[in-house]
Amino acid sequence: MYGKGLRTLSITTVGAITLALALVFFYAPLEAEQGFLQKIFYVHVPLAIVSLCGFVLGGLLAIQYLRTRDPRWDMRSYVVIHMSLIFAVGTLITGSIWAKGSWGHWWVWSEPTLVSYLIVFLLYATYQPLRFAIEDPERQARYAAVFAITAGAFVPMNFIAVRLSTAYLHPRVLGSTANLPGPMALTFLVSLGAIALLFATLCKYELTAKHARAQIRALRRRLSGESELPRRPRSAVPSAAQPATIGARVAGGGAPS
Amino acid sequence: MSALAVLAEAPALPLHTAGKYVAAAYIVLFAIVLIYVAIMGIRLSHIERDLGELLELAEQSGTPAALESPERESTLA
Amino acid sequence: MSGALTEQPERLDRRVPAREQPLLGTVRALLRKELLVELRTLESVPAMTLFAVTTFVVFHFALNRSSVEGDLAAGILWVTLLFAAILGVNRLFVADAEQGGFDAFLLAPVDRSALLVAKVLTLLAYLLVLELVAVPAFALLLLAPPLGHALPGLLAPLALGDVGIALIGTLVAALAVRTRARDLLGPLLALPLLVPVIIGAARASSPLLALGHTGAPPARWLVTLAVYDLLVGLITFALFDFLLDD
């Protein structure tokens, strides 16, 4: 049952985002060098951190799948990676906007975060095509898990490698997160929390929706009296939960657990 | 004085230009959320349509278990 | 070619129970089979080598330079080696997948990691042969400073880079071979994963290829390469089995 707690989570997220925005624009002091432009920091860096953690989390969930072979872990891994990819695109776009504002170019090689993100994005962009290219659902889940674990381990290594390579070219353009003065640090933490909550909420939405669709399919199958699973068209998306158990629950007439 | 290490070569943009970039960045965030709202809206309408069909199917087949529609816990109330 | 693999049971030590056949023996047998097949069919290595040399010529025209040194030289060398390696990676498991070699291997009472080790060593062997031709060709066609001084120093980045390419190449090849678009997915998966290898290898090679340089490659990059190779090796070793059960 994925929808449980979704309401609380959504409301908390709304509160957190509102608070974060308020802090960013009304509380955080104006930064001396970059001025108003620096405010992008409060949306770009949290997006970056959350998507980074999301990719690694996707790998961890995939490990769980390989250990238990329960397709629900595969589903969670898929959703988390999918969402992290979207947030990574957001990172790249906001980073690019910031680079344009502070450096005059839409892309700068001297900013290691952006470069690392580009590489990570290019890697994870192959996740969906990889899944789509494998028809057998069990093998699709298994291969996707291997990919998710490899890529999840790769993310931190990639960051370190890129940071090492750019350190010797130029000083960083977009600033570092070390040594933030108090009010800025607080604002940053709240923003980070807000984006993390947003990530969690959207993932939960996604999981709930997929699960609901699967339940509807099972219900339809049950009502029209078919006993067999109709052939699903080729898809990159893992199917949610076991149809047999859902059917049993519905037949019992009770609330879905 | 801010302790953020920033390249001093690029002078701070005046407010009206910087404002546009900041706004653009926050709009990106907003867009992500709104696109999601839209996707969820579409999915919700599909679910509603499917459930309608299923209800018809249930009334047609007339099985007692199926007529008693399962409790749907409202998560979006 | 799977005929070579089915000869294996006679060489197994029947006094030792199943799944305890010595790893080294299995690896040796598999490796021998791989290299024999390659020698007989000459599928991968000549193509890789020819590709590398041709690419050097393309670079000459694309960059409009007759000689390069330093960063540019290191970049051209490594990018070419990388793309040539991708050609080899694409072919690595194809014969097994098409001719049922996987099934024969899975049925044999041997440690599954043997297949991984054998394939990595095979790819490594291909890369070494590739470099035996490509590096001198590069020196001949494009490199400005003479190769002689640089060569001893270059051996380290070449070796470490090769190990990284071999490990990632094998993992990606195994992942891509049973998908529908294997020739496309292989490179797409491999290239981002190989970026740290390129960073380390190119940064390590570049001072050696600069005009007027003698001496050892910068240790920092060699260490980075070695650490990355180690981590990738661990991951590949841990995950490879999951790609095989069917």
Q: Any chain A CB within 8 A of the CB of C3?
A: no
Torsion sign over Cα A42, A43, A44, A49: positive
The Cα–Cα gap between C44 and C89 comes to 9
Better pLDDT: C135 or C40:
C135
pLDDT at position C6 is 47
Q: How many Cβ atoms from other residues are within 10 Å of residue A148's Cβ? A: 28
Mean pLDDT over residues C220-226, rounded?
Answer: 89
pLDDT at position C14 is 58
C215, amino acid identity:
G
Q: Do chains B and C touch (3 or more CB pairs under 8 A)?
A: no
**A40 closest CA partner among A96, A123, A119:** A96
**A153 closest CA partner among B15, C118, C237:** C237
Better pLDDT: A137 or A166:
A137
- List of chain A residues whose C-beta atoms are within 8 Å of the C-beta of residue B29: 43, 47, 90, 94
Statement: residue C2 has pLDDT above 60: no
> C191, A122: Cβ pair inside 8 Å?
yes
Q: What is the CA radius of gyration of chain B?
A: 26
A200, amino acid identity:
A
The pLDDT tens digits for C90-131 are 888 887 777 776 777 777 777 778 888 889 999 999 999 999
Q: Model ipTM?
A: 0.78
Confidence band of C21 (pLDDT split at 50, 70, 90): low
Chains that touch C (3 or more CB pairs under 8 A): A
Q: Is B3 helix (H, G, I), strand (E, B) or coil?
A: coil
Q: Any chain C CB within 8 A of the CB of A154?
A: yes
Q: Any chain B CB within 8 A of the CB of A116?
A: no
pLDDT at position C16 is 54
Q: Any chain C CB within 8 A of the CB of A122?
A: yes
Domain residue ranges in chain B: 22-58
Report residue C143: phi and psi, to 5°.
Answer: -75, 135
User: How many Å separate Cα A107 from the centre of its chain?
Assistant: 23
| Cα dist from A254 to A128, A250, B18, whole Å | 36, 7, 57
pLDDT at position A173 is 46
Q: What is the CA radius of gyration of chain A?
A: 21
Better pLDDT: B9 or B69:
B69
Confidence band of B68 (pLDDT split at 50, 70, 90): low
Tokens of C177: 């071979």
* Interface residue of B1, B29, B35, B49 to substitute, partner A, most A CBs within 10 Å: B29
Mean pLDDT over residues C224-244, rounded?
Answer: 90
Burial per residue of B27-36, b for 16 or more beta-carbon CB atoms within 10 angstroms, e otherwise:
ebbeebeeeb
Residues 179-218 of C with CB under 8 A from A: 179-181, 185, 188-189, 191-193, 195-196, 199-200, 203
Q: Is A69 helix (H, G, I), strand (E, B) or coil?
A: coil
Question: Could you write out the DSSP letters of every residue in chain C?
Answer: -HHHHHTHHHHS-TTSPTT-S-HHHHHHHHHHHHHHHHHHH--SHHHHHHHHHHHHHHHHHHHT-S-B-HHHHHHHHHHHHHHHHHHHHHHHTHHHHHHTHHHHHHHSSS-THHHHHHHHHHHHHHHHHHHHHHHHHHHHHTBSS-HHHHHHHHHHHHHHHHHHHHHHHHHHHHHHHTSTTHHHHHHHHHHHHHHHHHHHHHHHHTTTTSTT--SPPPHHHHHHHHHHHHHHHHHHHHHHHHHH--
Better pLDDT: A169 or B30:
B30
Q: Any chain B CB within 8 A of the CB of A104?
A: yes
Statement: residue C199 has pLDDT above 80: yes
Confidence band of A162 (pLDDT split at 50, 70, 90): confident
Say which residues have a Cβ less than 8 Å from residue A138's Cβ, sequence separation at least 6. none
User: Which member of B19, B63, B70 has the closest CB to residue A255?
Assistant: B70
Lowest mean pLDDT: which of A238-247, B41-50, C29-38? Answer: A238-247
Confidence band of B2 (pLDDT split at 50, 70, 90): very low
Q: Is A120 helix (H, G, I), strand (E, B) or coil?
A: helix
> A35, B13: Cβ pair inside 8 Å?
yes
Say which residues have a Cβ less than 8 Å from residue B5's Cβ, sequence separation at least 6. A171, A172, A175, A176, A178, A179
pLDDT at position A67 is 92
Statement: residue A174 has pLDDT above 80: no
> B1, A216: Cβ pair inside 8 Å?
no
